[in-house]
Chain A
Amino acid sequence: GQNIDQPTEMTATEGAIVQINCTYQTSGFNGLFWYQQHAGEAPTFLSYNVLDGLEEKGRFSSFLSRSKGYSYLLLKELQMKDSASYLCAVRDPDSWGKLQFGAGTQVVVTP
């Protein structure tokens, strides 16, 4: 099995930057994903990391260190619409179709 930890909640001001950390413990590794989920809605894909380093996509960036079992999602120039839950997920090394999700980090953006 795999253990995935991320903070429960973070608060930041509109226009600021927030970094959401995710640590995982796994017997194997086959990719890490970040999803955004607004309350009562479907998760939407944000990023995918399989190699170490930073992946940048607009205001969102995701970083991975496989040796440390660590990833972060960086949200820049925060907007009110970024208030949502951010889910870190690790792909099962034996089954590329199976993702294990963390409990999610609720980000609250204040004016």
Chain B
Amino acid sequence: ETGVTQSPTHLIKTRGQQVTLRCSSQSGHNTVSWYQQALGQGPQFIFQYYREEENGRGNFPPRFSGLQFPNYSSELNVNALELDDSALYLCASSLGLAGPHPNYNEQFFGPGTRLTVL
């Protein structure tokens, strides 16, 4: 069973540029979530995709966008990069849609992409 993988491992961009981060879900998982973890902070939820549709979003501006593909891999796109976008970006996958009990689906995290904006 293959775990969650992310690419690239590290990335350096300049303010104003655009970036695309990639995530491959754990085998069989159809739900992907993205989190931003600034230095010294806990992760913050960006959004979640289920079966290629965004089904939940955190408090992030529209320049943070995503895609999920038919094989359930996912991309996070960030436009007009700002210095504060420098962070570790984590992807997590799970099976199925969350919901009230007993619909608990454990999320499995990838190792993250470290983005530095200069």
A binds B: no
- Which residues of chain B have a CB within 8 Å of any CB of chain A? none
Chain A positions within 8 Å of B, measured between CB atoms, are: none
